[in-house]
Amino acid sequence: MLENAYLIPIYPLLAFVIIIFATRWKEKLSSAISIAAILVAVIHSIFVMIAVIGRHGVPFELSVPFIEHPLISLETGIFIDPLTAVMLLVVTIVSGCVQIYSLGYMHGDPRWSRYFSYLSLFTFSMLGLVVANNFFMIFIFWELVGLTSYLLIGFWFEKDSASDAGKKAFITTRIGDLGFIIGILLLATYAGTLNYQEVFTKVADGAVPVGVLTMIGIFIFCGAVGKSAQFPLHVWLPDAMEGPTPVSALIHAATMVAAGVYLVARSMTLFVGSAEAAMTVAVIGLITSFMAASIALVQNDIKRVLAYSTVSQLGYMIMALGLYGFDVAKDPHSHSVGYFAGTFHLMTHAFFKALLFLGAGSVIHAVHTNDIQEMGGLSKKMKITSLTFFIASLSIAGIFPLSGFWSKDEIVAATLGHPVFMFFTLLIAFITAFYMFRLCFLTFTGKPRNQERFDHAHESPKTMTMPLMFLAFLSVFAGWVGMPWLSHGFSSFVYTGELQHHGPNYIVMLVSTIVAVSGIGLAYTVYFKKKISADVLMEKFKPLYTLLLNKYYFDEIYDKVIIKPLLAFTRMMWWSDANIIDGLVNFVGWFTIKWADAKMLFDKYIIDGAVNGAGTVCMAASWLFKYVQNGSVQFYTLVVITSAVGVIIYKVTPEGFVYYFIGVVVVALARFLMKMNRPEEGNVETEPEG
């Protein structure tokens, strides 16, 4: 199964091709094909996982040369190690759940088949990104997921906000991608190869100077910053919530945005080689995580809260990975758990965040609004949705023994030895628990704040609740593979190389549980018991509240600092185009027209009006060739003999050839003029056939 793991991305690709080209008009069939393909991919991924476990961390690689060049050889192939196997499972499972869920959510959408074909294309790209064995391939798939993300954010492109959000996402991530490709090119220059294993061996051997390595690390991290919505390129992700909610769950919560984390994890060797780059990663991760969590506190759009939560959790993972790189760079024998924590949280987060989004989608489906201030009390109407949503919230808050508990715990453990990081990590954990339960209580408990919407609410169909329950199951149990008591658990699994087992750290567990429970408790008193009025709090911290509500004014700052000046510059260019360049062009045009007029007169005069209005050189040339191509074999042979003689003369005396050429032209012209003067003869064999 491992040998043909390259098929895993191929299944959804086939589904895409079939839907686009053949079954587009048969909606039911299209979605069936798409789901069948992803289910096959899930099964295949499970087999791959089993095979990988059996290999005890020895990676599997398969590649075929793509282009070979003296400077660099590009190849296409697959690289499967434990990390890849985990990602394959996560992507296929979440994609499968989302596609089944979409059957209910997208019911009646006029672009149904297109939606499923896009989902298949996305899944193909994401799986390709995961199995790629070199930086060249990962970049190609990186761009492909960007494209499908654009297509799906703007899926309802009739809405201006949706198409704008699509463009914003595309352009913002593109800024990060520019850095990414610079990093790749630097890597190609210094390492001479783009294959993961070759690159990492070379880097580990010290073939790349540390200064350059820092640059490469930071540039490659730029790609991750764009794709994983890290500060300062995080602005696109909340807007991307304009897309259909299942899409948000799949792309903008579980998989594509995790690609940046995956990239950092995959390139860990680069960061281990440069403590500066690793620290940059960790700091960016921390800033993002804190900033996004604080914004999530005050948002009222259910999907936006989750979007900021996603940004925050991604920042968590990035920070853990960065700290690991830093610790190991400082001390190769360090026992940092950051790498394990980041990748582990990547997996658990994918499940419970997908569940949260799908739950939110279920709510939106029922009440037709995103505003949590208009909800309330929905748990009475939507039992399954509210129950699963609470499970996911408990999981993200890090309550024992749900899967989020184990991974968040490891992230906190990763900050051991960095007091500042530890403080903020715990603070973020507190904020996370608070805003998640603010969301839960406002949505599902209390009295309905909008009776009309409440009356229309209903539990979603089976196709939507089944995936919710399945994901809830995973949100509870998926984390158990990483329990610190297991000596061969997730932590040993993702480390290629020696067996790693850290054992439990009960103090960390206790502290993080206390933090989480107190966060939930505060939310409970404010939003459930209403002991403390939220409005009073809001008034008290008015400036902070406004700052958070406006998301630290990032969009406004970007508008003032980048977009406005850019537009001004563009307008200036336009002005110069309109006045200077166009003036030149107009002059050239005017001159050309005058010249053409003159030429036309000349033509008329010489050819006696035969070639009426022959304007362009091309037409004239073609006309001439048509004339030569007159269908007469005798004439053809004449041309050949003339040319042959010309070639021989050229060989003997090049000067003589000039005279010969002039002579031929004169004779041809004469013959031409004679023909033109008596067209009425209507000689059939000389009729141009061209």
Partner 1 sequence: MDIKSAAIFFDILYPEIFLLAVGMFILVVGNIFKNRTFLAYLALVGLIGALVLTLQQWNAPQSGFYGMVQIDNFSIFFNVIFLSAGIIATLMARDYLRAHNIERFEFYPLILFATVGMMIMASSADLIVIFLGLEIMSIPLYVMAGFFRNDPNSNESSVKYFIMGAFATAFLLYGIALIYGAAGTTDLRRIMTDLGYLVSHSGFFLYSGALLVLIGFGFKVAAVPFHMWVPDVYQGAPTPVTAYFSVAPKAAGFAAILRIFIYGLGGLNELSVIFWILAILTMSVGNLMAIFQTNIKRMLAYSSIAHAGYIMVALSVGGDGAVSAAAFYLLAYTFFNLGGFAIVTLINSRTGSTAAIDEMKGMSVRHPFLAALLALFMFALAGFPPTAGFFGKFYLFSEAVKAGYIWLTVIAVMNSFVSVYYYLRIVVVAYFGKADEEFAPVSFKPAIWLVLVITAAGTLILGLLPQFGLQLAQMCMFSFK
Residues in touch with partner 1 (CB under 8 A): 21, 64-68, 618, 621-622, 625-626, 628-629, 631, 633, 635-637, 639-640, 643-644, 647-648, 650-652, 689-690
CB of 187 to partner 1, least distance (A): 22
The answer for residues whose C-beta is within 8 angstroms of residue 372's C-beta and 6 or more apart is: 300, 301, 302, 305, 439, 442, 443
Nearer Cβ to partner 1 (21/485)? 21
Strand, coil or helix: 81? coil
Distance CA 416, CA 149 (A): 37
Residue 557 sits at the vertex; the CA angle it makes with 556 and 562, to the nearest 5 degrees, is 110
Q: Which residues pair with 65 in a beta bridge?
A: 75
Shortest CB 643 distance to partner 1, Å: 5
Distances (CA, A) of 149 to 10, 32, 263: 19, 22, 18
Give whichever of 652 and 674 is closer to partner 1, judged by the CB atom.
652
- For residue 129, which of 95, 100, 102, 171 has the smallest C-alpha distance? 95
Smallest distance from partner 1 to CB 649, Å = 11
412: its two tokens: 């906190």
Which lies closer to partner 1 via its Cβ, residue 69 or residue 529? 69
- Closer Cβ to partner 1, 562 or 641, answer by number: 641
Tell me the residue type at 596.
A
Identify which of residues 75 and 374 has a Cβ nearer to partner 1 in the complex: 75
Following DSSP, what letter does each residue of 468-511 receive, concatenated? HHHHHHHHHHGGGGG-TT-TTSHHHHHSSSS-------HHHHHH
Total residues found in the chain within this entry: 690
Shortest Å distance, C-beta 651 to partner 1 = 5
What letter does residue 678 receive in the DSSP assignment?
-
Are the beta carbons of 102 and 246 closer than 8 angstroms?
A: yes
Nearer to partner 1, 111 or 449 (CB): 111
CB of 638 to partner 1, least distance (A): 10
β-partners of residue 371 are 301
Rank residues 195 and 343 by Cβ distance to partner 1 and give the closer one: 195
Cβ 149 to partner 1 shortest distance, Å: 23
Tokens 């991530």 found at? 173
d(CA 227, CA 295): 20
Of 55 and 114, nearer to partner 1 (C-beta) is: 114
Where do we find the tokens 């103090």? 507
400 or 635: whose CB is closer to partner 1? 635
Listed in sequence order, the residues at least 6 apart from 510 whose beta carbon sits closer than 8 Å to its beta carbon are none
CB of 14 to partner 1, least distance (A): 15
Q: How far is the CB of 644 from partner 1 (least distance, A)?
A: 5
Minimum Å gap between C-beta 642 and partner 1 is: 8
The residue (of 64 and 674) whose beta carbon lies closer to partner 1 is: 64
Are the beta carbons of 441 and 306 closer than 8 angstroms?
no
CB of 67 to partner 1, least distance (A): 6
SS3 at position 562: helix
CA distance 40 to 392: 27
The amino acid at residue 26 is K
> Closest separation between CB of residue 171 and partner 1, Å?
25
**Closer by beta carbon to partner 1, 570 or else 622:** 622
User: Rounded to the nearest 5 degrees, what angle is found at the Cα of 602, between the Cα atoms of 596 and 607?
Assistant: 120
d(CA 428, CA 515): 10
